[in-house]
Amino acid sequence: ISRTDYIHSRNFIHRDIKPDNFLMGLGKKGNLVYIIDFGLAKKYRDGRTHKHIPYRENKNLTGTARYASINTHLGIEQSRRDDLESLGYVLMYFNRGSLPWQGLKAATKRQKYERISEKKMSTPVEELCKGYPVEFASYLRYCRDLRFEERPDYSHLRQLFRTLFHGQGFTYDYVFDWNMLKFGNARQPTLPSAQQAPMHSQPSNVALPSGTNNDQEHRSRPYTRQCLPNASVATVGPTLGPNASLRAIRQKREMETRGDQDNQDKSDLQASGAGGQERRVSMRLHRRDTLLAAAGEMQPKSK
């Protein structure tokens, strides 16, 4: 949501939001999300006056049909709302592993687009998001209700999922499922309530999305392309690579282990009472005598 917000703040819409165009950084930037492929991006307002492009109809589908908004299927000029609706379908694709309008057969590309559009419009949001936290349905309904020129409330949308994130018991530790799969399960993630679907789950429960390539749902590209430079520079949160996260976890565990040992030592000392104090005095005297003997200053004891 933050990445899309940033692109829109630069007066562009992406128009091809899909899983293939989101990447995670490498190394120290392993916690950063990047958006790529601005071949279909379009300037939707004047950078100085913020005058919005006009509403138009009878437009050809631009983007990837699987994730395109309903208004895009209807031939309506795209605006900010369409990028966000597409992002909602991406989120549900990650949740479900597939979308109801995948795998539809048709003789021509146009017929396939029509079948996808019909299935998308006939699938209620509640059915699409059934079995998942209500925030996903709330997100999609909000995006579909936006007017053509309306500025989305990005903060509200982020807060939806931030509240869900904390409600599920997760923390911003920047240790993702793919980090644990690559580097080993350095920590056990906090499991969410069994009544709700997890925002990310144990590796054994990960639903692998099907059809990550473009299949037959090719995207339509215009003859002229506009590119948006430096669209991935906005960041949220501190930069913590996967290795740094794992080191922090190990250090925390070592500190906890030392703390447990210190607590055990204190318990033993308290349990020993006065006897423990006598042993400590005896040990100090023994160490003193040993040092004196080594220095040749120990006098022989009289019988």
What is the pLDDT averaged over residues 131-141?
A: 99
pLDDT recorded at residue 200 = 41
Q: Please check whether residue 210 lies inside any domain of the structure.
A: no
**Residue 216 pLDDT > 70:** no
pLDDT recorded at residue 186 = 54
Domain count, the chain: 1
Structural domain for 15, as ranges:
1-178
Q: Please check whether residue 73 lies inside any domain of the structure.
A: yes
Band of the pLDDT at 156, cuts 50, 70, 90? very high
The answer to whether the beta carbons of residues 4 and 17 sit under 8 Å apart is yes
pTM attached to this predicted model:
0.64
pLDDT recorded at residue 39 = 98
Torsion of CA 225, 230, 232, 237, to 10 degrees: -160
Q: Please check whether residue 99 lies inside any domain of the structure.
A: yes
Highest mean pLDDT among 102-116, 227-241, 276-290: 102-116
Q: For residue 149, which phi and psi values (nearest 5 degrees)?
A: -95, 0
pLDDT recorded at residue 265 = 46
C-alpha separations of 177 from 21, 38, 104, 239, 272 in Å:
19, 28, 31, 18, 47
Tell me how many degrees the CA angle 40-43-46 measures, rounded to the nearest 5: 175
**Residue 31 pLDDT > 80:** yes
**Residue 274 pLDDT > 80:** no
CATH number for the domain harbouring residue 110: 1.10.510.10
What is the pLDDT averaged over residues 137-166?
A: 98
pLDDT recorded at residue 48 = 97
Closest residue by Cα to residue 219 from 59, 12, 42, 68? 68
Band of the pLDDT at 9, cuts 50, 70, 90? very high
Residue-wise pLDDT for 32-91, tens only, equals 999 999 999 999 999 999 999 999 999 999 999 999 999 999 999 999 999 999 999 999
Q: Active site residue: 16, 215, 260, 268, which one?
A: 16
Q: Please check whether residue 250 lies inside any domain of the structure.
A: no
Q: Is 215 a catalytic residue?
A: no
Q: Please check whether residue 240 lies inside any domain of the structure.
A: no
pLDDT recorded at residue 52 = 99
Instruction: Report the C-alpha gap between 247 and 255 in whole angstroms.
Output: 12
pLDDT recorded at residue 155 = 98
Closest residue by Cα to residue 20 from 70, 69, 93, 115? 93
**Residue 120 pLDDT > 60:** yes
Q: Please check whether residue 29 lies inside any domain of the structure.
A: yes
The answer to whether the beta carbons of residues 73 and 113 sit under 8 Å apart is yes
2-9 and 80-96 helices, crossing angle to 10°: 160
pLDDT recorded at residue 181 = 84
Q: Please check whether residue 221 lies inside any domain of the structure.
A: no
What is the pLDDT averaged over residues 200-229?
A: 40
The answer to which of 13-22, 127-136, 157-166, 199-208 has the lowest mean pLDDT is 199-208
The answer to whether the beta carbons of residues 15 and 228 sit under 8 Å apart is no
Adjacent-strand bridge partners of 110? none
> Which position has the higher pLDDT, 204 or 261?
261
Q: Please check whether residue 156 lies inside any domain of the structure.
A: yes
When computed from its CA atoms, the radius of gyration of the chain, rounded to whole angstroms, is: 30
The answer to whether the beta carbons of residues 182 and 242 sit under 8 Å apart is yes
Closest residue by Cα to residue 85 from 230, 200, 93, 262? 93
